[in-house]
Chain A
Amino acid sequence: MNILERYHAMDYGPAPEARNEADAWLAARDFSKALFIGGDWKAAGGGKTFDTSDPSSGKLLAKVSDAGAAEIDAAVSAAAKALPKWAAATGYQRAKVLYAIGRAMQRHQRLFAVLESIDNGKPIRESRDIDVPLAIRHFIHHAGWAQALDKDFPGQKGVGVVGQIIPWNFPLLMLAWKIAPALAAGCAIVLKPAEFTPLTAILFAEICERSGVPKGVVNIVQGGPEAGAAIVNHPGIQKIAFTGSSEVGKIIRKATAGLGKKISLELGGKSAFVVFEDADLDSAVEGLVDGIWFNQGQVCCAGSRLLVQEGIAEAFIAKVKTRMSRLRVGSPLDKNTDIGPLVDLTQLDRVKGLVAEGAKQGAVCWQPDVALPSSGYYHLPTLATGVSPANILAQEEVFGPVLATMTFRNTEEAIELANNTRYGLAASVWSENVNLALHVAPQLKAGVVWVNGTNMFDAACGFGGYRESGFGREGGREGMLEYLSAKLPLGPAIKPAPATTKPVERAEGDAIDRTAKLFIGGKQVRPDGNYSLAVATAKGKLAGEVGLGSRKDIRDAVAAARACKAWPEATAYNRSQVLYYLAENLSGRVDEFGARLTELTGATAKAARDEVDQSIERLFLYAGLADKFEGRVHQPPARAVTLALHEPVGVVGIVVSDNAPLLGLISLVAPALAMGNTVVAVPSEKYPLLATDLYQVIEYSDVPAGAINIVTGRSAELAGVLARHDDVDGLWLFADAETCARAEADSVGNLKRVWTGNGRSLDWTSTEAAGDALLRRAVEVKNVWVPYGD
Chain B
Amino acid sequence: MSSTSREAELSTDRLGPSKITPLPARTAANAPVPQAHGIARNPGMKLDLGFMESMRSVNRSALERRVASLTKRRSIKADNQAAWLLRAVACMDLTTLNSNDTDERVRRLCAKAVNPFRRDIVEGLGIAGEKIRPAAVCVYHPFVATAVDALRGSGIHVAAVSTAFPHGLTPLSTRLQEIEASVSDGADEIDVVIPRGLVFAAKWQELYNEIVTMRAACGEAHLKVILGTGDLATLRNVMLASMVAMMAGADFIKTSTGKESVNATLPVGLAMVRAIRAYFEETGYLIGFKPAGGISTAKASLDWLVLMKEELGRRWLEPDLFRFGASSLLTDIERQLEHHLTGHYSANHRHAMA
Q: Which residues of A contact B (CB under 8 A)?
A: 1-4, 6-7, 9-15, 125, 129, 278-284, 286-287, 290, 314-315, 317-318, 321-322, 325-326, 335-336, 338, 432, 452-453, 639-640, 787-790
Specify which chain B residues have a CB less than 8 angstroms from the CB of A3 in the assembled complex: 79, 82-83, 86, 125-127
The listed residue (A317, A335, A453, A790) touching B3 by CB distance below 8 A is A317
Instruction: Give chain A residues whose Cβ lies under 8 Å from the Cβ of B79.
Output: 1-3, 6, 13
In the complex, per-residue mask of B317-335: 1 if CB is within 8 Å of any chain A CB, else 0? 1000000000000000000
Contact of B342 with A by CB under 8 A = no
User: Can you name the residue of chain A whose Cβ is closest to the Cβ of B237?
Assistant: A790
Contact A790:B310 (CB < 8 A) given known A7-B83, A10-B87, A125-B73: no
Q: Is the CB–CB distance between B83 and A281 below 8 Å?
A: no
On chain A, the residues within 8 Å of B78 by CB distance are: 13
Q: Which residues of A contact B317 (CB under 8 A)?
A: 10
A12 to B84, CA, bound (A): 9
In whole angstroms, what is the CA distance A640 to B72 when docked? 21
Q: How far is the CA of A280 from the CA of B4 in the complex (A)?
A: 21
B73 / chain A contacts, CB cutoff of 8 Å:
125, 335-336, 338
Q: How far is the CA of A622 from the CA of B305 in the complex (A)?
A: 61
A789/B80 in contact, CB under 8 A: no
24 of the cross-chain contacts (CB-CB < 8 Å) are A2-B79, A4-B83, A7-B86, A7-B127, A7-B130, A7-B132, A10-B309, A283-B62, A286-B66, A287-B62, A290-B69, A315-B3, A318-B7, A321-B7, A322-B10, A338-B73, A432-B56, A432-B57, A452-B59, A453-B61, A453-B62, A453-B65, A788-B61, A790-B236
Residue from the set B12, B56, B65, B84 with the largest chain A CB neighbour count within 10 Å: B65
Query: Which residue of chain A lies nearest to B76 when distances are taken between CB atoms in the complex?
Result: A12
Q: In the complex the two chains form, what is the Cα distance from A15 to B79 in whole Å? A: 11
Q: Tell me whether B11 and A281 are in contact (CB under 8 A).
A: no
Q: Are A322 and B7 closer than 8 Å at their CB atoms? A: yes
Q: Are B82 and A336 in contact (CB under 8 A)?
A: no
Closest approach, in angstroms, between the C-beta of B209 and any C-beta of chain A? 28
A residues less than 8 Å from B274 (CB atoms): 282
**Chain A residues, CB < 8 A from B127:** 3-4, 7
Beta-carbon contact of A280 and B80 below 8 Å: no
Which of B273-330 touch A at CB < 8 Å?
Answer: 274, 277, 305, 309-310, 314, 317
* Additional A-B contact list (20), CB under 8 Å, known A10-B84, A286-B65, A322-B10: A3-B126, A3-B127, A4-B127, A7-B83, A7-B84, A7-B86, A7-B127, A9-B83, A10-B305, A11-B80, A125-B73, A282-B277, A326-B11, A335-B74, A336-B73, A336-B74, A639-B61, A640-B61, A787-B65, A788-B61
Of A7, A13, A321, A453, the contact of B11 (CB 8 Å cutoff): A321
Query: Chain B residues near A13 (CB, 8 Å)?
Result: 76-80
Q: A6 with B11: in contact, given A125-B72, A283-B62, A286-B66 (CB under 8 Å)?
A: no
B3 close to A314 (CB less than 8 A): yes
Q: Which one of B3, B58, B309 lies within 8 Å of A280 (CB-CB)?
A: B58
Give, as a whole number of angstroms, the nearest-CB distance from B92 to chain A: 14
Residues of chain A within 8 A of B65, CB atoms compared: 286, 290, 453, 787
Cα(A283)–Cα(B82), bound, Å: 31
CB neighbours of B130 from chain A (8 A)? 4, 7
Contacting pair B87 A7 (CB below 8 A): yes
Contact between A318 and B3 (Cβ–Cβ < 8 Å)? yes
| Interfacial chain A residues near B213, Cβ < 8 Å | none
Q: Is the CB of B11 within 8 A of A452?
A: no
Most buried by A among B76, B87, B310, B317: B76
Residues of B within 8 A of A125 (CB): 72-73
Among candidates A15, A284, A290, A321, residue contacting B77 with C-beta atoms closer than 8 Å:
A15
B75 within 8 A of A: yes
Chain B residues with Cβ below 8 Å from A314 are 3
Q: Provide the residues of chain A in CB contact with B62, threshold 8 Å.
A: 280, 283-284, 286-287, 452-453, 787
B60 within 8 Å of A by Cβ?
Answer: yes
Tell me what chain B mostly uses at the interface: helix, strand, loop, or mixed. Answer: helix
With a cutoff of 8 Å between Cβ atoms, the chain B residues found around residue A432 in the complex are: 56-57, 59
* Chain A residue at minimal CB-CB distance from B317: A10
Query: Total interface residues on B, using CB and 8 Å?
Result: 49
Asked if B234 lies at the interface with its beta carbon under 8 angstroms from chain A, I say yes
Nearest B-chain residue to A318, judged by Cβ? B3
8 closest pairs, A vs B, by CB?
A318-B3, A283-B62, A6-B83, A787-B61, A15-B75, A335-B75, A13-B80, A280-B59
Judged by a CB distance under 8 angstroms, whether B63 is at the interface is yes
- Give the residue name and chain of the A residue nearest to B10 (CB): A322
B210 within 8 A of partner (CB): no
A773: min CB distance to chain B, Å: 38
Q: Which residues on B sit within 8 Å (CB–CB) of A6?
A: 79-80, 82-83
Chain A residue nearest to B318 (CB atoms) is A10
Check B314 against A318 for contact (C-beta < 8 Å). Answer: no
**Is the CB of B129 closer than 8 A to any CB of chain A?**
yes
Kindly provide the distance from the CB of A388 to the nearest chain B CB, expressed in whole angstroms.
21
Q: How far is the CB of A628 from chain B (nearest CB, A)?
A: 32
Known contacts A3-B86, A325-B11, A326-B310; A12/B61 CB under 8 A: no
Chain B residues with CB below 8 A from A1, complex form: 79
B6 within 8 A of A: yes
A-B contact count (CB 8 A): 119
**Complex Cα spacing A322 to B82, Å:** 28
Q: Does residue B64 face the partner (Cβ distance < 8 Å to A)? A: yes
Contacts of A129 in B (CB 8 A): 69, 72
Which chain B positions have C-beta within 8 A of A287?
62
Closest-CB distance, B123 to chain A (whole angstroms): 12
Residue of A12, A129, A318, A432 contacting most chain B CB atoms (<10 Å): A318
Closest-CB distance, B336 to chain A (whole angstroms): 13
List of A residues within 8 angstroms of B56 by Cβ: 432
Measured between alpha carbons, how far is A741 from B189 in the docked complex, in Å?
81
A789, B66: Cβ atoms closer than 8 Å: no
- Out of B10, B57, B64, B129, which one reaches A281, CB within 8 Å? B57
Q: In the complex the two chains form, is B11's CB within 8 Å of A4's CB?
A: no
Residue of A nearest to B9 (CB): A322
Which residues on B sit within 8 Å (CB–CB) of A10?
83-84, 87, 305, 309, 314, 317
Q: Roughly how many angstroms separate A639 CA and B65 CA in the complex, as a whole number?
A: 10
Minimum Cβ distance to chain B for residue A292 (Å): 15
User: Which among A129, A282, A283, A318 has the highest number of chain B CB atoms within 10 Å?
Assistant: A282
Contacts of B305 in A (CB 8 A): 10
- Contact indicator B6/A318 (Cβ below 8 Å): yes
CA distance A327 to B259 in the complex (A): 37
Contacts of A788 in B (CB 8 A): 61
**Given the known A-B contacts A129-B72, A283-B59, A452-B62, are A4 and B80 also in contact in the complex, defined by CB atoms under 8 Å?**
no
Q: Decide: B3 and A12 in contact? CB cutoff 8 A.
A: no
Beyond A10-B314, A322-B7, whether A452 also contacts B61 by CB under 8 A is yes
Q: Which residue of A lies closest to B309 (CB)?
A: A10
Measured CB to CB, the closest approach of chain A to B102, in angstroms, equals: 34
Are A12 and B72 CB-contacts (below 8 A) given A321-B7, A452-B59? no
Residues on the A chain within 8 Å of B234, using CB: 790
Which residues on the B side are within 8 Å of A11 (C-beta)? 80
| Of B11, B60, B77, B126, the contact of A789 (CB 8 Å cutoff) | B60
Q: Give the distance in Å from the alpha carbon of A787 to the alpha carbon of B62 in the complex.
A: 8
Within 8 A of A (CB), among B21-77: 56-66, 69, 72-77
Contacting A at CB under 8 A, from B91-139, are 125-127, 129-130, 132
Q: Which residues of A contact B7 (CB under 8 A)?
A: 318, 321-322
Chain A nearest CB, measured from B230 CB (Å)? 15
> Which residues from chain A contact B87 at a C-beta distance below 8 Å?
7, 10
Are A789 and B125 CB-contacts (below 8 A) given A12-B76, A283-B66, A318-B6? no
Docked-complex contact B64 and A789, CB < 8 angstroms: yes
Residues in chain A near residue B129, CB distance under 8 A: 4
Residues in A with CB closer than 8 Å to B64 are 639, 789
Closest residue of chain B to A639, judged by CB? B61
Which chain B residue shows the least CB distance to A1? B79
Residue of B nearest to A312 (CB): B54
Chain B min CB distance to A565 (Å): 32
CB neighbours of A789 from chain B (8 A): 60-61, 64
